[in-house]
Amino acid sequence: MRVISGTAKGRSLKAVPGTSTRPTTDKVKEAIFSMIGPYFDGGQVLDLFAGTGGLGIEALSRGMDKAVFIDIEKKSIDTIGHNLVIAGFKDQAEIYRTDATRALKALAKREQRFELVFLDPPYKMKFIAELISTMEEQSIVPMNATIVVEHDAKDVLEDTIGGFKQQRRSDYGDTAVTIYKGSAE
């Protein structure tokens, strides 16, 4: 696992010890960024269910200004911190150990806004629509935001969730990536 492109290109990232996480493969990561970028001109990224932090770190490497990483597992939090130091983005990141719902409430209270969001929950959790709706209701995502969902390829996600419309879905074996974009209608 490594940073694929940008200012930290080629830096190796540490995996979370054990089998509790499912890191995004380099192949899927590369595909995601070719669909949504590949590079950014600033902005904030939210990596919810961050695991290793690989997606958020890749976004920082490709030009995002700041990232917030959320995960409930201590091993993940420690790994994200380590990977941020290796990639050179420690000062551009905040890491929180909490569950997704509590994190979204705290981010809304702090009036944080994210132009890019990565949602990669454990495949057994089937609440993507609720998370996107909550982010929209709490004004965490502006209407020009992009939300990238990594999920089980067997799952079919809604075409529209609130003001967000599905732009694209691609399958990579057991993994699928669905991208939502806000529509300012």
The string of pLDDT tens digits covering residues 62-77 is 999 999 999 999 999 9
Task: Write phi, then psi, for 60 (nearest 5 degrees).
Answer: -65, -45
pLDDT at position 126 is 84
Which portions of the chain are predicted below pLDDT 50? none
| Cβ neighbours of 105 (radius 10 Å) | 14
| Cβ neighbours of 124 (radius 10 Å) | 6
pTM for the model: 0.94
Task: Identify each DSSP E strand in 120-163 by its residue range.
Answer: 146-152, 160-161
Task: Write phi, then psi, for 51 (nearest 5 degrees).
Answer: 65, -105
- Distance CA(9)–CA(6), nearest Å, equals 5
pLDDT at position 20 is 67
| Cβ neighbours of 151 (radius 10 Å) | 21
pLDDT at position 184 is 60
What CATH class does 26-182 carry? alpha beta
